[in-house]
């Protein structure tokens, strides 16, 4: 249940040292959208926006490279094992680094909505977020289809559906047979993470892994390690994807020799911890980030291949990566001695 007291009870992230964009991102290294002044004819960095389909299937999480959909955990994660309810996941997000002020964190971190926020500005902001994700401009749906999309936000789909119509965020045919989206889905912007993003990166990372059911809680050794975005940014590249000012996804990149490189050999770029907020489904962020990673690899001197690992027993990511052009490299599979029975499979794509 969403209440003022609950909204105030937010966990916060503790952040550490952060490198400046100027020193951490230079020509040939940064995201394509963050181009050097000499290449853009201006000063500073110019973001390039990459659009992604609003409700095309998104990527599920997988091992060290967790591709998660951003809205309903049941969409792709169901194939990977039992899916935790969002309320159960929220109860496990107890580490102080997982707190943020995003709309998703403020109103959805304790589980599906039971009622809308009391404040009109909060209510409208949340409804706009829902409308853009479930039925953006140019898309239509019948009532059962819309209800299915709304279930990622609330079990009371009638409440949400009526509120969207009443606020003019979704248009309803007179006979109730058709609903049309009226709000344009903001373009996806992929950029280097900053200190201000750390809380969201940590929250999304933990929520994605717990929602997939891959870990019992947020306090295991590996889970504690991956909820420190500030520490990762200090030694390697961390990107975020944002839409409409909301950070919705993140990924970590590493080359051979970096402490975050798990399998990368010289001439390879590895990506890990690719996570998308599980509160919202089919955002397109996962696939857009993978495409940007491949572009980044082509820009980096000496890089000839992109690699990643995932757990052999997770069917969804193992089905996804071949569709994105990655091929299995079984001779490079890993069997970590500190985790008996764990089989990490390696995927690679030449560029």
- Mean pLDDT, range 222-237, rounded to an integer: 93
The better pLDDT of the pair 260, 15 is held by: 260
Torsion (CA) 97, 316, 248, 92 in degrees, nearest 10: -30
Query: What is the residue-averaged pLDDT of the chain?
Result: 75
- Mean pLDDT, range 177-198, rounded to an integer: 94
The tens digit of pLDDT for each residue in 265-281 reads 999 999 999 998 887 75
- Mean pLDDT, range 40-60, rounded to an integer: 35
At residue 95, the pLDDT reads 43
Cα–Cα nearest to 127, from 89, 154, 94: 154
Cα–Cα nearest to 277, from 53, 96, 91, 98: 98
CA distance 351 to 343: 26
- Mean pLDDT, range 180-192, rounded to an integer: 93
- Mean pLDDT, range 11-34, rounded to an integer: 36
At residue 253, the pLDDT reads 98
3-state secondary structure of 167: coil
The better pLDDT of the pair 14, 219 is held by: 219
**Confidence (pTM):** 0.67
- Contact yes or no for 341/347 (Cβ under 8 A): no
Please state, for a pLDDT cut of 70, what percent of the chain lies above it.
Answer: 69
The better pLDDT of the pair 110, 15 is held by: 110
- Contact yes or no for 209/314 (Cβ under 8 A): no
Tokens 């971190």 sit at which residue?
Answer: 109
- Is the pLDDT at 167 greater than 50, yes or no? yes
- Contact yes or no for 308/60 (Cβ under 8 A): no
CA distance 155 to 311: 32
CA distance 247 to 231: 19
At residue 307, the pLDDT reads 98
Beta-carbon contacts of 134 under 8 Å, excluding residues fewer than 6 positions away, are 55, 71, 146, 149, 150, 152, 153
Please state, for a pLDDT cut of 90, what percent of the chain lies above it.
Answer: 45
- Is the pLDDT at 346 greater than 70, yes or no? yes
Residue 140: CB atoms within 10 A of its CB come to 14
Cα 15 from chain centre:
20
- Mean pLDDT, range 239-260, rounded to an integer: 94
Rg (CA), the chain: 20
Question: Which pairs count as long-range contacts for 20-29, CB under 8 Å and 24+ apart, including other chains?
Answer: 21/45, 21/192, 21/194, 24/192, 24/233, 24/237, 25/192, 25/237, 28/299, 28/300, 28/301, 29/237, 29/299, 29/300
At residue 98, the pLDDT reads 47
At residue 230, the pLDDT reads 96
């Amino acid at each position: 249940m969403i209440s003022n007291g609950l909204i105030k009870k937010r966990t916060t992230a503790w952040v550490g040292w952060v490198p400046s964009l100027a020193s951490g991102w230079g020509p040939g290294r940064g995201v394509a959208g963050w181009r050097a002044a000499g290449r853009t004819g201006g000063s500073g960095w110019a973001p390039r926006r990459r659009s992604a389909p609003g409700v095309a299937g998104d990527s599920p999480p997988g091992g060290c490279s967790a591709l998660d959909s951003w809205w309903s955990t049941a969409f792709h994660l169901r194939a990977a094992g039992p899916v935790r309810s969002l309320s159960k996941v929220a109860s496990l997000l107890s580490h102080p680094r997982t707190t943020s002020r995003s709309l998703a964190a403020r109103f959805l971190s304790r589980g599906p909505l039971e009622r809308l926020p009391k404040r009109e500005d909060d209510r409208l902001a949340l409804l706009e977020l829902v409308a853009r994700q479930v039925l953006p401009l140019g898309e239509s749906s019948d009532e059962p289809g819309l209800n299915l999309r709304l279930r990622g936000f609330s079990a009371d789909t009638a409440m949400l559906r009526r509120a969207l119509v009443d606020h003019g965020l979704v248009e309803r045919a007179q006979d109730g047979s058709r609903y049309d989206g009226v709000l344009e889905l903001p373009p996806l912007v992929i950029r280097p993470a900053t200190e201000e993003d750390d809380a969201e990166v940590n929250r999304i990372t933990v929520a994605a892994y717990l929602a997939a059911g891959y870990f019992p809680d947020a306090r295991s050794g590996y889970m504690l390690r991956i909820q420190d975005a500030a520490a990762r940014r200090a030694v390697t590249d961390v990107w975020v994807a944002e839409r409409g000012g909301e950070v919705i996804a993140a990924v970590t990149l590493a080359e051979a020799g970096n402490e975050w490189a798990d399998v990368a050999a010289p001439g390879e770029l590895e990506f890990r911890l690719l996570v998308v907020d599980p509160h919202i489904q089919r955002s397109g962020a996962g696939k857009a980030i993978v495409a940007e990673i491949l572009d980044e690899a082509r820009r980096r001197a000496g890089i000839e291949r992109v690699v990643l690992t995932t757990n052999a027993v997770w069917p969804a990511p193992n089905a996804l990566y071949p569709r994105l052009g990655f091929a299995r490299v079984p001779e490079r599979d890993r069997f970590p001695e500190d985790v008996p029975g764990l089989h990490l499979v390696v995927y690679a794509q030449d560029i």
